[in-house]
Amino acid sequence: MKFIGKLLLWLLVAAAIVIVLLYLVGQTRWAAGQIGNWVSGHSDYRLSLGKISHSWDEPAQIGLEDVALTRANQPQALTAKRVVLGLSLRQITNPRYFHSVTLHDGTLNVQPGAAALPIQADVLQLNNMALHAGDADWQLNAQRVNAGITPWRPQSGHLLGDNNRFQFSAGSLTLNGIPASQALVQGQIKDHQLLLEDFGADLAQGDLTGKATRAADGSWLVDRLRLNKVRLQTPLSLEQFWQRFTTLPPITLQRFDLIDARLEGKGWAFNDLDLSLQNVSLQQGDWRSENGALHANASDIINGRFHLVDPIISTRLSPAGIAIEQFTSRWEGGLLRANGSWLRATKRLQLDDVTVAALEYTLPQNWRELWLKPLPAWLSQVYVNKLTTNRNLIIDINPAFPFQLTSLNGYGSNLLLAHDGQWGIWSGSLNLSASEATFNKIDVRRPSLALTADQRQIAVTELSAFMPNGLLDAKATVTQRPGKPFSLSLSGRSVPLNTLQQWGWQPVPLEGDGNLQLQVQGLLNSDGPFRDSVRGNLQATAKDGQTVNQQQP
């Protein structure tokens, strides 16, 4: 019996020595290399370990130093200076399930389609890590990341697992090319849905807060999103800037607020912009809404030469379109005011009341080309029920034919100003008058115009102006056919006989004042120079009775 007791004692001592040796050897670089080789040979991943460590001060933890994990033919999945594995009693029956896994000072690369890792944990923690994640719609690069995921059960294609809660903070990050800092996110992943219960970040010198949900199909529901005092500068044009949003996955905004924002790009700017958008769904550049609203105001909105000062707009959104409850703005020194609606079915902008007052507006050099240019696809018709203009100054500095209208007043009703995506006057009546005007260095007083239009023609029933000693009076008809063929009958009494020469007619070999009778036809919207389309004749009679008849050309 004494022999058996001594034998058992020696066996226990030997076992203890073996355990101590294994414990000591296990913390050598050789053992770390062997474990890395074993994992590499029995999984889809390649594991590299610098060292394994353990401290009796924390007996339930094992430390892995200088860890690198890579899947074959894929970017490196993980590098970390230290990985701490927290042990639990559950590992007696499930050795691959840890109480905790903590990653320190490294990089975690989350790629779609990644194979599932062969371990799980109650908690995954990231301490001072860099995180790179992305799919077809979203690309995230974050630095100085601290995060916790509970529980952590990685799946194939979902390295961070599913059905868990998480907290995330980052010192800096870039999401789809947009930089931010001091980001904080709290939420959960549930049944392949991403629920962001609360998030915030410093963005473009301002701050962002919100709550949102990403569905399994990639679409987003944003319960609230608030951007405050952002100062964003971009080299993109306004069209390019907007194009970035049209490529996003479908988004439903229950409430979006932009407060005191300043946005600036190539040829455009929004200053001191406040915007509130409610109950709107956006997809591929289009929108849908049930009982939505858009309210906005700014100190300046600039797009090229177009500059609105202190614009205010208030609208209601519905499946039928947009109800414009209020639009006011200062523009070119004057005031614009309108209300009405945009109808989705017909792409018709219907303005009930438009007021244009006290403008000092210089037409762009290419205003005629802009007039002939087709409208965008979303705008087929522009209808104005009531138009009022007061004390406007309109200037054209085109050297070929400059003109100026001073104190231009007018009113119009039932005006269809665009039809099938083309500017024009397709229906209604319009009356305009000015205190004085200059047309290519010819001064006139009290010019006035009156017209009515329908689908067949525009009838100019009055076109008149006073000259120093006489009167010009004309009538015209413009048909609504392509090119807008027109005919004009003009008479001048006691007017300078060289008046029409300044307006493109050939020189008249008479001097002084006299009477003019002009009959011309042409194309108002000709493909080439307007003058080349004009045909007609002129009869000029001087005060001494001399008469000249001329043909054009």
Q: What is the pLDDT of residues 258-306, one digit of tens each?
A: 999 999 999 999 999 999 999 999 988 889 999 999 999 999 999 988 9
Q: Assess whether 147 and 37 both reside in one domain.
A: yes
Q: What is the pTM of this model?
A: 0.83
pLDDT of 382 above 70: yes
Say yes or no: 406 and 473 in one domain: no
Which residue among 436, 456, 476 closes a domain? Answer: 456
The whole-number pLDDT of residue 19 equals 45
Residue 210 lies in a domain: no
Query: Is 471 found in the same domain as 452?
Result: no
Percent of the chain at pLDDT > 70 equals: 89
Q: Is residue 25 over pLDDT 50? A: no
Residue 486 to residues 67, 441, 499, 500, Cα–Cα distance (Å): 83, 25, 21, 18
Residue 63 pLDDT:
78
Residues 219, 313: one domain?
A: yes
Range of the domain at 537: 467-553
Those residues with Cβ within 8 angstroms of residue 72's Cβ, 6 or more apart along the chain or in another chain: 44, 45, 46
> Which of 398, 428, 456 delimits the end of a domain?
456
Co-location of 247 and 383 in the same domain: no
Q: How many Cβ atoms from other residues are within 10 Å of residue 454's Cβ?
A: 13
Domain match, 69 and 195 both: yes
Regarding beta strands 164-175 and 178-190, do their DSSP bridges make them parallel or antiparallel, or are they unpaired?
antiparallel
- Residue 370 sits in the same domain as residue 516: no
Q: Among all chains, which residue has been given the structure tokens 């290419």?
A: 366
Residue 166 is assigned to a structural domain of this protein: yes
In whole angstroms, give the CA distance from residue 131 to residue 159: 12
Residues 220 and 309 in one domain: yes
Encode pLDDT of 493-525 as tens digits: 999 998 998 888 889 998 889 999 999 999 988
Which pLDDT belongs to residue 26? Answer: 43
Q: Is the pLDDT of residue 10 over 60?
A: no
Residues 434 and 513 in one domain: no
Would 21 be classed as within a structural domain?
no
Strand (E) positions, 49-176? Answer: 51-54, 61-71, 76-86, 97-110, 120-134, 139-150, 164-175
> At which of 456, 481, 506 does a domain end?
456
Mean pLDDT rounded to a whole number for the chain? 86
**Axis-axis angle for helices 2-26, 29-41 (nearest 10):** 80
The answer to whether the beta carbons of residues 98 and 120 sit under 8 Å apart is yes
Query: Distance between CA atoms of 392 and 371, rounded to whole angstroms?
Result: 20
Q: Is residue 14 part of a domain?
A: no
Q: How many domains does the chain have?
A: 4
Q: Are residues 179 and 48 in the same domain?
A: yes
CB-CB contact of 97 with 120 (8 Å): yes
Whether residue 17 lies inside any domain: the answer is no
Check residues 54 and 219 and name the one with the higher pLDDT.
219
Indicate whether 16 belongs to any domain.
no
Examine the domain organization and report whether 91 and 176 are in the same domain. Answer: yes
Locate 176 and state its tokens.
């789809």
Q: Are 495 and 512 in contact (CB under 8 A)?
A: no
Q: Is residue 19 part of a domain?
A: no
Check whether residue 254 and residue 229 sit in a common domain: yes
Asked whether residue 240 is domain-assigned, the answer is yes
Give residue for tokens 């009679």: 541
Output the pLDDT for position 18. Answer: 43
